[in-house]
Amino acid sequence: MSSNTMIDAEDIFGELKTKNTPARKGKARGRKVGADLLAELKVKMVMRIYGASRARAMEIIAGRAGERQALEHAQEEARAAKRPHRFRGDESMAIEEFFGA
């Protein structure tokens, strides 16, 4: 090849497909995920029930979520307190404690 030789685009990129290719349209909008729709529904319901703004409704929802987490944590601690404690190999116990003497 000399410096004046032209190279076709087909030689570089392979066979170009120009027929039957769909025309590019605008950017496709993404679908909302179910969790996003549920969150939006919660906000709208709280807004209607309490007659609050969107920001205040989101604060109410966040506060209730914190209360729920605290309640679940307390319930888990109560369940753990009811279960008998199982000793692992690294824990030791005095014989007096074991036999209750």
Span 51-73, pLDDT tens digits: 999 999 999 999 999 899 999 99
Q: The tokens of 91 are what?
A: 């824990």
21-51 tens-digit pLDDT: 666 666 666 777 788 889 999 999 999 999 9
Indicate the SS3 state at residue 9: helix
Task: Note the pTM of the prediction, 2 decimals.
Answer: 0.46
Residues 93, 99 contacting (CB under 8 angstroms): no
Tokens 């039957």 label which residue?
20
Return the CA Rg of the chain.
33
